[in-house]
Structures are given as structure tokens and as C-alpha cells.
Amino acid sequence: MSGRGIRGKVAVAGIGETTYYKHGQSPDAEFVLALRAILRAAEDAGISPREIDGFASYANDRNEPSRIAAALGIPDLRFSNMQWGGGGGGVAAAVGNGAAAVAAGLADCVVVYRALAQGQFRRLGAALPDPTVSGDMAYLAPYGALSPAQRFAMQATRFMHDHGVEHGVLRAIAMASYQHAQANPRAVMHGRPLDAETYDNSRWIVEPVNRLFDCCQENDGAAALILVSAERARDLRQPPAYLLAAAQGSDQRRGAPVMNAPDFGSGSFNTVAPRLYEAAGVAPGDIDVVQAYENFTTGVMMAIVEHGFCAAEECNDFFTLENLTAPAGRMPLNTSGGNLAECYMHGLGLQLEAVRQIRGQSCNQVPNARLAMNIAGPMVTPVSSLIMGSEETL
């Protein structure tokens, strides 16, 4: 391929992850988790970890490339990149940033990584303990709009109101993740199935949108994936998962303070998704399997609509457990169990699962999956998404 895009120029050659632990249960320091995941990704690719010359992460990962490079004995650190923005909106962007570096020759082997041992730091879902707040939070926190659930709920309330969406949509998304996790021994929720009655009886976190099972877990662990040029990937151990496109950003004034984004009731992908498809040269109907970041099931719903898999008015019919589950569903979703039921590794686990689908190595394999989409961090800004493909999609 020629031209400015990354299509077909870069591939994921290796993936690695630690054991996934419940929040606070990691026996290892967070930095050790990062190292273990990176070493496993190198081993999976069949390369020496010292070949890594670039690092890309997101969400203010605490484990700095210089420290990792020193620990691994990397002789020439060429690329260190952090995607702006908190939360999971940066996952696909971090992969895109790493791929751009490889495509442009800034680095030859970039690892995208994320490590989380939240018990060793401050919890994500807890309110800031500060007695005073300024800026945006001065207009939210005194009203009890504190946690991520409480800061994103009203986008979904408005979307569901505007389009007549019923709560069964969210239940189907949660149940699909839990069903897939039952076949995935890595999943924290392996052996803990979720039925409709349990979902319906679970407590409200934020009414009218988030019940307990609509919210991501908090976990300890780490994940990593290794990007190299397409040529190099073909000589390595695993079937390459080629990057067809990655896109990031958000629509006009998504970051307007205090919930004043013009297109408020959305997942923030209305400008990102069209750019993604155009760069990849594919359409929604071509995608075989979707991994969509669940901070909350509401975000998945809106992101799927904005990526063109169904119209907003079709949600009630489209989002069914049957449609969302592998192997035969119309749009198999979060086939590892995702953030809800595999592990909340800030969405990087979903990227690894997309790679496994392209390789044919998933616990919930979609037969002959050739195109996999990954959607990251709905409702925040910036968000990101990407499309991976097998050799035959190039």
C-alpha cells in the first residue's frame, strides 16, 4: 500500500497479558505487571524484548517508557508516546499512534501497554476526597455528580429518550459479555454466569440507565501488544493481525464544559466512525466481530449505533443476546467477556481479543473472522476506534 494511511503497513505480531485479578488482589507491583505482559507479548511474537524500540500508552499510565526500557535493557529507545485523555478513550488511539510510528519509520517495534493495580493507588469509581473543587467539577461535585457513572448517565438518558430505547438493550449487552466469559478461563467472571432475572434484580447504580451489571469491574493486571511492519510480521511466529485503520477524536465541542456538547446524547463517535471506515475501505456490514469498550453498557449501545451497525430506532430489535453472541450472532460482541466479565484492563484486553479473532484463537471464535473492529472509551473525549484484518483483507 502507498499513501498516507496505515492500511496494511503495520500488524500486531504479539499479545501478552498477566493473570487478571480482582481489584486489589495482585501479588505483583503494578510495574511488575507491566513488565510481565510486555515479556509475554514478545515471547508470543517470537522476538527478543530488546527489539522493542517504542512505547505507546494512554489514560496516564504510571509506568514510564524510560523505566521499562531500562528494565528490559533496550539499547535504543526511539518512540515514547502517551495519548491524551483519561479513561479508555485512548486504547485504539494508542494502537494507532504506535502503528503510525512504525509506518513512518520513527520506530520498528512498538509495544502498546497498560498496567493497572488500582489497589496500590486511588480507586477509579470513588469520588475525589478533596474538600473543595474548582473548574468543571465545581459545577458537578456539589450536586452529587461525582463518579464516572454519574458523569456519563445523562448522555445515555437523553439518547434513550430521544430514540425510544428500552432497558433490554443494556441487559443484552451485559449478558453477552457474561456468556462469552463462561468459555474464557482467563475471565474474572468465568464460572459466574449472569441470567436475565439476576440482571433485572440487581441494584441501581444510577437510575434510569445503569444497574450493577451495566458497569465495568475494577481489576488488577496488565496487557500488551506488539506492532511491527507488515513485512516483519509475516516472518514471525503468529498470523499477523493487520491494522486497516485507526481513528480518534470527537465531534464539535464534545469537551464543552458542564455537559454542553452540542450533540450531547451520544457516544462521541459521530465524526470518528466515518473517518475510520473511509480509511479502512470497508463498511459496517463487512465487519465480522466487534469488541466495544464497556465503561457502561450505555456507551456500547451508542457507540455501536454511531459505527453504523444499526439505527438508533432499531436498538430494541438489534441488541438481543442471540445477535450479540458468538459463533452465530449477527454481530458477535465482546467475545472475551470484555471489561464487564473478562477484566477491566482499561480496554486493552479487548484489543487482544480482536487479534485472537483474526488469528482464529478466541475462546469464542467467530468462524472465519477476517475483519475485527475495536471501539474504545465511549462518551469521553477523545475516543478512538480501529479495524484489524487478516491477510486476505489487504
Q: Phi-psi bin for 344: left (phi > 0), alpha (psi -120 to 50), beta?
A: beta
- Residue 149 CB, nearest approach to other proteins (Å): 7
293 is catalytic: yes
Residue at 181: amino acid letter: A
Residue 223 and residue 104: Cα distance in Å, rounded? Answer: 25
381 binds other proteins (CB under 8 A): no
CB 224 within 8 A of CB 118: no
Q: Which region, judged by CB under 8 A, interacts with other proteins, from 2-10, 111-119, 207-215, 362-370?
A: 207-215
Residue 88 and residue 205: Cα distance in Å, rounded? Answer: 20
Give the residue, chosen from 27, 46, 257, 360, that forms a contact with other proteins under the rule CB under 8 A.
257
- Residue 179 CB, nearest approach to other proteins (Å): 25
Q: Which region, judged by CB under 8 A, interacts with other proteins, from 148-156, 270-278, 325-333, 359-367?
A: 148-156
Task: Find the binding residues for other proteins in span 275-304 (CB under 8 A).
Answer: none
260 binds other proteins (CB under 8 A): yes
**Closer of 155 and 339 to other proteins (Cβ):** 155
312 binds other proteins (CB under 8 A): no
Q: How many residues bind other proteins (CB under 8 A)?
A: 45
- Residue 142, burial from CB neighbour count under 10 angstroms (0-12, 13-18, 19+): exposed
Going by C-alpha positions, the residue among 77, 63, 72, 70 that lies closest to residue 28 is: 63
Q: Which region, judged by CB under 8 A, interacts with other proteins, from 1-9, 139-147, 229-237, 355-363?
A: 139-147
Rounded (5°) CA angle 85-107-292: 40
Neighbouring-strand partners of residue 109: 228
Give the residue, chosen from 2, 134, 197, 283, that forms a contact with other proteins under the rule CB under 8 A.
134
**Closer of 301 and 355 to other proteins (Cβ):** 301
Give the residue, chosen from 207, 235, 317, 322, that forms a contact with other proteins under the rule CB under 8 A.
207
Residue 68 and residue 89: Cα distance in Å, rounded? Answer: 23
- Residue 294 CB, nearest approach to other proteins (Å): 17
- Residue 344 CB, nearest approach to other proteins (Å): 17
Read off the C-alpha cell for 202: 440487581
- Residue 37 CB, nearest approach to other proteins (Å): 30
Task: Find the binding residues for other proteins in span 113-132 (CB under 8 A).
Answer: 125-128, 130-132
CB 45 within 8 A of CB 236: yes
Q: Which region, judged by CB under 8 A, interacts with other proteins, from 10-18, 40-48, 255-263, 322-330?
A: 255-263
CB 59 within 8 A of CB 81: no
226 binds other proteins (CB under 8 A): no
59 binds other proteins (CB under 8 A): no
- Residue 136 CB, nearest approach to other proteins (Å): 6
135 binds other proteins (CB under 8 A): yes
Determine if the peptide bond prior to 382 is cis (ω within 30°). yes
Residue at 210: amino acid letter: N
86 binds other proteins (CB under 8 A): no
Neighbouring-strand partners of residue 14: 226
Q: Which letter does DSSP use for residue 28 in this model? A: S
Q: Which residues contact 223 (CB under 8 A, 6 or more apart)?
A: 15, 16, 17, 18, 37, 113, 114, 345, 348, 349, 351, 352
- Residue 260 CB, nearest approach to other proteins (Å): 5
Give the residue, chosen from 82, 137, 236, 394, that forms a contact with other proteins under the rule CB under 8 A.
137
154 binds other proteins (CB under 8 A): yes
Residue 382 and residue 367: Cα distance in Å, rounded? Answer: 33
344 is catalytic: yes
Give the residue, chosen from 84, 204, 234, 360, that forms a contact with other proteins under the rule CB under 8 A.
204
321 binds other proteins (CB under 8 A): no
Residue 316 and residue 172: Cα distance in Å, rounded? Answer: 10
Going by C-alpha positions, the residue among 215, 212, 194, 192 that lies closest to residue 203 is: 212
- Which residues are the active-site residues? 293, 344
Q: Interface residues with other proteins (CB under 8 A)?
A: 125-128, 130-147, 149-150, 153-155, 157-158, 161, 203-209, 253, 256-260, 264-265
